[in-house]
């Protein structure tokens, strides 16, 4: 996806850090954006080592991290009301809607929002 602007869901980045070739190849050269929720989900776990946390932080420093902008919050509220998805997922999906770019994910539960946001499933 050389040069393509995408929003990466947390599960896709976990798969990338695990070395899943298909995901690594897909993301190679992409202009990757992430939600602040993804940043938190990747780093706020006791299951990663300090070395892994440094690797994740170095990667995230190369991405554009999107915060809780007013439009993101508004979309998240609407998506939560419409679908009942977990709030972190609603915020990530809302970030894709706000940026008007595809959410790259492996999670099928985002199908509930396929009419609201662009999805690309790996």
Per the listing, tokens 């662009």 go with: 118
Helices (H) and strands (E) in the chain, counts: 6, 5
Task: Give phi and psi for 109, each to the nearest 5.
Answer: -65, -15
Q: How many domains does the chain have?
A: 1
Domain range for 94: 5-121
- pLDDT at position 2: 56
Res 1 pLDDT > 70: no
Q: What is the CATH number of the domain that holds 49?
A: 3.40.50.1010
pLDDT in tens, 54-93: 999 999 999 999 999 999 999 999 999 999 999 999 999 9
C-alpha 122/C-alpha 22 separation (Å) is 8
């Amino acid at each position: 996806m050389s040069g393509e602007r995408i929003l990466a869901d947390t599960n896709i980045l976990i798969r990338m850090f695990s070395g899943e070739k298909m995901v690594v190849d897909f993301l190679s050269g992409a202009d990757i954006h992430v939600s602040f929720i993804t940043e938190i989900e990747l780093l706020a776990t006791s299951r990663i080592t300090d070395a892994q946390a440094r690797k994740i932080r170095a990667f995230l420093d190369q991405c554009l991290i999107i915060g809780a902008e007013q439009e993101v919050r508004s979309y998240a509220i609407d998506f939560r009301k419409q679908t009942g998805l977990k709030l972190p997922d609603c915020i990530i999906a809302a970030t894709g809607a706000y940026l008007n770019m595809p959410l790259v994910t492996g999670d099928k539960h985002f199908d509930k929002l396929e009419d609201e946001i662009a999805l690309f499933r790996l």
